[in-house]
A and B are shown apart, each in its own frame.
Chain A
Amino acid sequence: MDDLKKKRNKDYNDYVKQVTPTHSLPLNMCKAFLVGGIICIIGQAITNFCLNADMEKDVAGGWTSLILILCSVLLTGLNIYPSIAKFGGAGALVPITGFANSVAAPAIEYQKEGQVFGIGCKIFTIAGPVILYGIFSSWVLGLIYYILTKVGVF
């Protein structure tokens, strides 16, 4: 690509950036705080309920995750969760409910392409990267931790 074209494209992209409307960041952050906060409060309420029912802390945590995931999958199936995320943005995407939505949505959409090539192959199209790099980074951190314990830092 010659320089003239490069310059034209750069000027154009700069101009496009100027005229393209974007969501208001502070407003979006407030909404995310609100929605994410509400989801966390619900989670805490479930945990407290479980703890009051004489469950171990770990078991209570497990039940909390399971119930939140179930709710998110149900809301995805009923087409309500997308509206929550449209309002709440990252507040609805980052908690475990967002992760559940990203698995449930492809399962619903690709079900028509079959159990294997549809759901089987495509269920993790969105969540897959999170799972892969999540596991990989925890392996790296584990390795660092192991080396540090061997050299006597911990």
Chain B
Amino acid sequence: MEQIIGKQSVEFENPAHIIAGASIVGKKEGEGPLGSLFDLVGDDYLFGEKTWELAEGALQREAAQIAIGKAKLESWQIRYVFSGDLLEQIIATSFGLENLQIPLFGIYGACSTVGEGLSLASMIVSGGFARYVLAIASSHFGSAEKQFRFPLGYANQRPLSTTYTVTGSGAFVLAKEGGKCKIAGITSGKVVDFGVEDSMNMGACMAPAAGDTIYQNFIDFNRSPQDYDKIITGDLGYVGQEILIKLLKDKGFDISQQHTDCGIEIYDRETQDTHSGGSGCGCAATTLSAYILPKIESGEWKKVLFVPTGALMSKISFNEGESVPGIAHGVVLEHC
């Protein structure tokens, strides 16, 4: 069977299985609609650490340990870990995973990181290069605000198109067999830039990238939206969702029935004051682990196209007047 299909996709002959998923989140996420589904909810945002950056590292470490425990493995049995976060030089990953002593591939895909990690991990497992691989992603409201926006205490009015960075980390153990969810295929995304310069409207920056990847997935796999029970993007929020549905309608696909977005699911915008929704690597990662994965494992959803989205924003290029490019990685998850 040919595994390389279409322009950007792979359909695995021996798909990797997600045998365990773990999620840990902050207080605000714990108070949201998915609150009871997470494995661990922190009492505060520091998780026993001194700084936001170390706290984010602790999130990754905790998530990894819970996932490894759920898979009934020891950390030495994990061959590789793919992990990333939003911070410069992905320091949360380095600090968080040092004590696990597992060979690490650090990755950066902004908020699409979990999709990138799962894609690479599934190829490694499917290719027979490792028995067990870990994929992790994290974000933290405090560290992200500090790096990309303002100090937390700074008083300002957030535009309605902004999203709220999720404090949380999701970790997944992939293996050749076991579990009830397999990664049947992937559609890897290109950098897509429609020239949006407003970093306070990341949904609009990323929607074209999500549209591009989802469209390519339909073409490469010769599928239509009806072939999926759900098409779930990472953190487009309400603004990005509207744009994505329109962009794909223009290309002849109506995903309005199947589509939802992790950024929409994770918060209640009426009571939690999160405007357009949630964002950050942790948004897609924790929602996948707590909300999507159990539904696939139970068979309620048989086939899901999971598309974490990333706004490849740098504060420097933003100040230099450049636009915010987007990227989105498609992962086809199937009940098995």
Contacts and interface: CB of A to CB of B under 8 A. Distances in A.
A150 interface: no
Interface in B185-235: 194-196, 198, 201, 204, 208
A85 B155 contact: yes
A92 B208 CA distance: 37
Contacts of B271: none
B159 interface: yes
Contacts of A109: 146, 151-153
Interface residues of A, number: 35
Nearest to B142: A109
Contact of A12 (B51, B152, B208): B208
A107 B156 CA distance: 16
A19 B242 CA distance: 8
A12 B153 contact: no
Given A16-B204, A109-B146, A101 B239 contact: no
A20 B157 contact: no
Interface in A103-124: 104-106, 108-110, 112
A66 interface: no
Nearest to B53: A112
A20 B161 contact: yes
B76 interface: no
Main SS class of interface, B: loop
B155 A76 contact: yes
Contacts of A13: 194-196
Contacts of B204: 16, 20
Contact of B153 (A9, A20, A105): A105
B159 A77 contact: no
Contacts, number: 87
Given A105-B150, A112-B51, A126-B150, A16 B155 contact: no
A69 interface: no
A84 to B, nearest CB: 7
A36 interface: no
B277 to A, nearest CB: 12
Interface string B33-55: 00000000000000000110000
Contacts of B159: 22-23
Contacts of B157: 23, 28, 85-86, 89
Contacts of A93: 155-156
Nearest to A78: B153
B51 A110 contact: no
Nearest to A76: B153
A61 interface: no
B153 A81 contact: yes
A81 B150 CA distance: 14
Closest 7 CB pairs of A and B: A85-B155, A109-B151, A9-B195, A105-B153, A105-B154, A105-B151, A21-B160
Interface of B: 50-51, 146, 150-161, 194-196, 198, 201, 204, 208, 239, 242-243, 246
9 contacts: A12-B194, A12-B196, A21-B160, A81-B153, A86-B156, A101-B155, A105-B150, A106-B154, A126-B150
